Amino acid sequence: MHSVHNRRIADVTGRVQWWAAAAGQLLWPLACEACGRAIEPGGEGLCEACWQGLLSCTAGSYCRACGLDAGSFGMLEDGCARCRERRPVYDGIARAGVYASTLRDLVLAMKFHDRPELAARLAQWMEAALAAAPFAGRLDAFVPVPLHWRRRLARGFNQSFLLACRLARGRAPVNTDLVRVRHTPSQWTLSTTRRRGNVAGAFAVRRDHDFSGRTLCLVDDITTSGATLNECARVLKQAGAAAVYAVVAAVAMQDTD
């Protein structure tokens, strides 16, 4: 009698658990981190289409000096054709891919749909890019591109800081002594020429902080014209940095933004 009763309880509990799981799947089905479509359990965060998209936007070869696609001009020892026209202030760059497809979806979801946890996913590919970069082994610190406090307050986090924390693990510390002293309109809204003027004087190094002789790596989610990275590198070099490199999740091509 007792055991029948127990079995009934077990039955009911089992059924309740099953319904709870089923309802959970309906309410919170496993969703692709990039596009939100339902995915099979074990899909490792992305749907099949988004994995394909990711492969396509991380596959191309790029100029290690400026980060733009190597293109049909090929590579020269010290950069591409564009680099020779306008040398970046930073000394080299590693990128996970181009700002398109899955990388773009992830960056947008992280920043504008309040998904800071996606920094972990993006940092994975940035780590792979960084590991292949010649400067990876000689960094003294990772410096996230700072947000103005007003924007950080509105968003709740600085995505570059989150990415830097991930990349720093087991490598070098994160240094937040580069600050944004001026609130500027978002770079995406401006033309290339206006972007340069937009960030001029926007950054500064905290008072009394010395970067003398240090090798630094700027961290940002995307770079479009390189204007922000250049301005940050300029300020850091002025503060004594020996070399300033950069690592980004995505480089936006001029004609895609």
54, 79, 224, 225: which one contacts Zn ion (CB under 5 A)? 79
Contact between 191 and 213 under an 8 Å Cβ cutoff? The reply is no
**Stretch of 6-14, 77-85, 161-169, 189-197 contacting Zn ion, by CB under 5 A:** 77-85
Q: Kindly report the CA angle at 196 between 192 and 199, in degrees rounded to 5?
A: 130
Q: Hey, is 252 helix, strand or coil?
A: coil
Q: State in angstroms the smallest separation of the CB of 76 from Zn ion.
A: 9
Picking from 112, 81, 115, 126, the residue whose alpha carbon sits closest to that of residue 217 is 126
Report d(CA 180, CA 218) in Å as an integer: 14
Task: Give the shortest CB-105-to-Zn ion separation in angstroms.
Answer: 8
Distances, alpha carbon 246 to alpha carbons 89, 207, 210, 218, 229, in Å: 11, 23, 19, 4, 7
**Closer by beta carbon to Zn ion, 19 or else 73:** 73
Cβ closer to Zn ion: 20 or 55? 55
Q: What is the total count of residues that contact Zn ion (CB under 5 A)?
A: 11
Q: Which is nearer to Zn ion, 79 or 92 (CB)?
A: 79
Residue 247, phi-psi category: left (phi > 0), alpha (psi -120 to 50), beta (remainder): beta
Binding of residue 88 to Zn ion (CB under 5 A): no
Q: Which is nearer to Zn ion, 31 or 242 (CB)?
A: 31
> 218: helix, coil or strand?
strand
By CB under 5 A, the residues from 29 to 68 that bind Zn ion are 32, 34-35, 47, 50, 63, 65-66
By CB under 5 A, name the one of 54, 57, 80, 122 that touches Zn ion: 80
Cα–Cα distance, 236 to 71 (Å, whole number): 30
* Least gap, CB of 65 to Zn ion (angstroms): 5
Give the residue, chosen from 57, 83, 239, 252, that forms a contact with Zn ion under the rule CB under 5 A: 83
Quick one: 86 or 169, whose CB is closer to Zn ion? 86
The letter for the amino acid at 90 is: Y
Give dist(CA 31, CA 200) in Å, integer: 41
- CB nearer to Zn ion: pick between 105 and 221: 105
Give the range of 14-22, 72-80, 180-188, 222-230 binding Zn ion by CB under 5 A: 72-80
Please report, as ranges, the residues that interact with Zn ion according to CB under 5 A: 32, 34-35, 47, 50, 63, 65-66, 79-80, 83
